[in-house]
Amino acid sequence: MAPKIKDVAKQAGVSVTTVSRVLNGEKYVKDDLKARVKRAIDELGYTPSHIARSLVLKKTNLIGVIVPDITSSFYSTILSTIERTASLNDYNLMVCNILEDTDKELKYLQIFKQMRVDGIIIMHEKFSEEIRELIQSLDIPFLFSSVKPADQQFVSVIIDDYAAAYDATRHLIGLGHSRIGFIGGDMRDVTSGQNRYLGYSNALSDCGIKVEDDYIRFGDYKTQSGYDLMKEILANETRPTAVFAVSDDMAVGAMNGIHDCGLKVPDDLSVIGFDGSQLTEQVRPRLSSMEQPILEMGKVTVDKLLRMIAGNEEEPLNDVILKHKLVVRDSCKAYRDHS
Amino acid sequence: MAPKIKDVAKQAGVSVTTVSRVLNGEKYVKDDLKARVKRAIDELGYTPSHIARSLVLKKTNLIGVIVPDITSSFYSTILSTIERTASLNDYNLMVCNILEDTDKELKYLQIFKQMRVDGIIIMHEKFSEEIRELIQSLDIPFLFSSVKPADQQFVSVIIDDYAAAYDATRHLIGLGHSRIGFIGGDMRDVTSGQNRYLGYSNALSDCGIKVEDDYIRFGDYKTQSGYDLMKEILANETRPTAVFAVSDDMAVGAMNGIHDCGLKVPDDLSVIGFDGSQLTEQVRPRLSSMEQPILEMGKVTVDKLLRMIAGNEEEPLNDVILKHKLVVRDSCKAYRDHS
DNA sequence: TTGAAAGCGCTAACAG
DNA sequence: CTGTTAGCGCTTTCAA
């Protein structure tokens, strides 16, 4: 059995209180006692039980995180910075990888409750009524990151997805394109589904371009779906000359679909992605993308959550809107009409 | 404050013992009492404290995982299956993302100790003596996955990296290549550094091909390093006609380096990767790779660890060697001498 | 079948 | 400065 505080006390010939005091760096301990306790701790290889400590302190230093898919380049990156920021503040993560399994999200939320995590970060917005209720009844600070659920009372750290999609589309239009395809997300997602679609279609309308349903498809943000949908779009009699995909993974899938159809990016079609994941630099041609400030987003999320946990009354409970940024690489080209 | 077992007992008009019994599904409780307790639980929205339970049971259902980089396609995938398998067995993960920071590994190991995790999975082999000692003194079952530290007493779930690298190289040789470049890992890593290098060089020697240092570079498994090293290799007067990179990420970097030098894969150079990550299908041409059974590896690792935790005496404490598999895609081509 | 009470390992009044 | 003691929320003998 691992040594306990009592063992240390006995070894050092002091009371458990004194041991506790040196453990927690209190000042009211004479130097010689402090030294004896420290030696005893070393000799025994003692490490305080976080469990016991949590029980009395009512604080676990745990943050629960719900993420749709840790193998996605976007989520693994944001998760990485969340972990880093949390760790620097002595918080640990407990992550739930949903993978389409909505029951799992509910189950994990219950686990978070049992675990008495100090806070929760959610990067998923398509939840059931049951989950919505649970989450609100939890009495644990929570925050959404990179998504904004329809429920206006929930607070998010996010970019303006509508504006970002609008700007991405305008970029394509600015290059002279007018037949612009769209590979969207799930329209049940407000943030990455609806808002990005609206940004796209409104940009078109504002420029007097007709929104062509044949050029529009919706998928699941993954490479395979971008690939399949691109092929569907290419099946049109007159192809678009550019396409906007709402995730880099889908954009890469689209590029592959184009490639496998014997066409070239950007000569035959321009492609623009969304997110700014590392995949943009891993493919050829390198993918232009409407980027989210991923690292900042993760850091800001954790910092804000920690302030909420600390019970900072000053902490405004409204959204934090971060800035998106277009990063031009090699996958888009000006369009010249050859007719 | 969240309701506690005492509140439930009061509400149901029974003792806490009885509540505990229905919570843990014991049989010796009369049906009517059981019903009353269940109703009280619902009314109060009670969820038992995992903390308190862990303290008395001396079991946390937590597994600590140490991974080099969760944004790597290989590690995010194996982590995903580890999480899945653990979750199905009612275990939760606490993951440490090292990111080159060796102090962080040590710090997390100490956290795992404080947390009293039930078991530890390590996917990193380049640890200090200090870590080696800590880990052994921990009295917590631990297991290495996808790596095999030099210390023979540690148990690993792994493939035969030497044989896999040997086979990959032989594949290239079989295609007629004799000038074969090598983009390796860190030679301080036994598994993915030394063993894969030895597999490569021995395959060459066995076929009477001279091992050419100018064609050999070592990096850090990441795309950027594959890119840079490939360019160095291409700077040779006579280029190799094929190259073997010991991670898919590096292989993709190499492909990009080749592309950016105005050369073509596989026409000018064949490229073969290692791991079998999803990146192999995301790039064009699709990357041939010596694949590890990633999903199986994650599952086997967790299953074995759980058996060790359960104190299964039958559980053999030796390595589990999984089978590697060559998956041929479009990045390699037979070599014909044009001289 | 049920309940009283001890104890898991630690912190924090409260005394001295 | 230092020690005694009462919990934190739960499980588990041991009796009834």
Of the partner residues B49, B83, B115, the one whose CB lies closest to the CB of residue A116: B49
Distance from CA of B240 to the nearest CA of A (A): 22
Which one of A51, A110, A284 has the shortest CB-CB distance to B60? A51
Residue A290, both tokens: 């409407």
Q: Write the single-letter amino acid at A11.
A: Q
- Mutant choice from B42, B43, B51, B87 vs A, greatest count of A C-beta within 10 A: B51
Determine the average pLDDT of the residues in A93-120.
Answer: 95
Chain C bases having any atom below 7 Å from a protein CB? 1-5, 7-13
Task: Identify nearest nucleotide to residue B15 by CA to C1′ distance.
Answer: C3
pLDDT at B24 over 90: yes
pLDDT value at position B312? Answer: 74
Residues 6 or more apart in contact with residue B16 via CB below 8 angstroms: B5, B6, B8, B9
C1' (D12) to CA (A102) span, angstroms: 37
Both tokens of B181, joined, read 């470049």
With beta carbons under 8 A apart, name residues in chain B contacting A88.
none
| Residues paired with B157 in a beta bridge | B145, B320
Whole-number pLDDT of residue B25: 87
- Same domain membership, residue B176 and residue B283: yes
CATH number for the domain spanning A188: value is 3.40.50.2300
Specify whether B216 is located in the same domain as B190. Answer: yes
Poorest-confidence range of B135-149, B245-259, B305-319? B305-319
Structural domain containing residue A264: 161-292
Total domains present in chain A: 3
Task: Clarify whether residues A172 and A104 are in a common domain.
Answer: no
Determine contact, residues B182/B214, Cβ cutoff 8 Å.
Answer: no
Q: Which residue of B lies nearest to A277 if distances are taken between CA atoms?
A: B71
pLDDT score, position B336? 83
Q: Both A165 and A288 in a single domain? A: yes
Q: Are B202 and B166 in contact (CB under 8 A)?
A: yes
Q: Are residues B52 and B73 in the same domain?
A: no
Contact B116 A77 (CB under 8 A): no
Residue A188 within a domain: yes
Annotate A121-185 with DSSP letters as a single string.
Answer: EE------HHHHHHHHHT-S-EEEES---S-TTS-EEEE-HHHHHHHHHHHHHHTT--SEEEEE-
Residues of chain B in contact with residue A256, where contact means CB-CB under 8 angstroms, are: 282, 284
Q: Decide if B142 is inside a domain.
A: yes
Residue A338, pLDDT > 70, answer no
SS3 breakdown of chain B: % helix, strand, coil, rounded to 5? 45, 15, 40
Q: Is residue A207 part of a domain?
A: yes
Structural domain contains residue B198: yes
- Note whether A191 and A283 are same-domain residues: yes
Per-residue confidence (pLDDT) for residue B178, from 0 to 100: 97
Over the stretch A9-68, which tens digit does the pLDDT of each residue have? 999 999 999 999 999 987 788 888 899 999 999 999 999 999 999 999 999 999 999 999
- Contact by Cβ (8 Å): B248, B222: no
- Measured in angstroms, the CA of A21 and the nearest CA of chain B are apart by 17
Say whether B147 sits in a helix, a strand or coil.
coil
Q: Do both B189 and B91 map to the same domain?
A: no
| In-domain check, residue A327 | no
Contacts of B87 in chain A (CB under 8 A): 104
**DSSP-derived 3-state class of residue A103:** helix
The reply to whether B49 has its C-beta less than 7 Å from any atom of strand D is yes
Question: Is A339 contained in some domain?
Answer: no
> Residue A219: which pLDDT band, with cuts at 50, 70 and 90?
very high
Both B81 and B16 in a single domain? Answer: no
Whether residue A216 sits in one domain with residue A120? no
Between A and B, how many CB-CB pairs are < 8 A? 121
B327 part of a folded domain: no
In B, which residues are within 8 Å of A94 by CB distance? 92-94
- Shared domain for B214 and B302, answered yes or no, is no
The pLDDT assigned to B150 comes to 85
H or E element that contains B289: strand B288-291
Check CB contact under 8 Å for B55 and A55.
Answer: yes
